[in-house]
Amino acid sequence: MKTHFPTAFVTGLIFGLGLLVSGMANPHKVLSFLDLAGDWDPSLALVMLGAIAVSIIAFSFIRGRNQSLLGEPLRLPVKTRLDTRLVIGSLGFGIGWGLAGFCPGPALVALGAGESKAAVFVAAMLTGMGLFELLEKRKSASH
């Protein structure tokens, strides 16, 4: 696989700046968005709608393609069935997002901005990822 460091760097920088400008890296703003019964802040809904619009355009552009613009293979999800792992993972993600006000991308941006709560979240996230890998290896070895 070729290395496209400049493209990856610029893409990550734009994504990170977008998260900062939109407030997605601010856990207070995210928790206010999730607090439907309290002091609800609907502004992040516009961020999500914008992301959905960009995704719809991007996915319609790549439909039928098997390579990215940089010549790399496109690896799009192929599963269409909801399964227990997806539901449990989604619940875990939602609960973590609701408790901490972070999801993985914004947590990394907040960590880079020096947010101490993000350091705790990222450490827990990496621990969870490591535990998942360990369990997957054990499961594969037992089959």
What φ, ψ does residue 67 adopt, rounded to 5°?
A: -135, 150
Q: What would the pLDDT profile of 36-56 be if each residue is shown by its tens digit?
A: 999 999 999 999 999 999 999
Residues 61 and 49: their CA atoms lie apart, in Å, by 18
DSSP string, 30-72: HHHHH-TTSS--THHHHHHHHHHHHHHHHHHHHTT-SB-TTSP
Burial call 86-125: b when 16+ CB within 10 Å, e when fewer: eeeeeeeeeebbeebbbbeebbbbbbeeebeebeebbeeb
pLDDT tops 90 at residue 108? yes
How is residue 21 written in tokens?
A: 């400008």
Give the pLDDT band of residue 2 (cuts 50, 70, 90). low
pTM for the full predicted model: 0.78
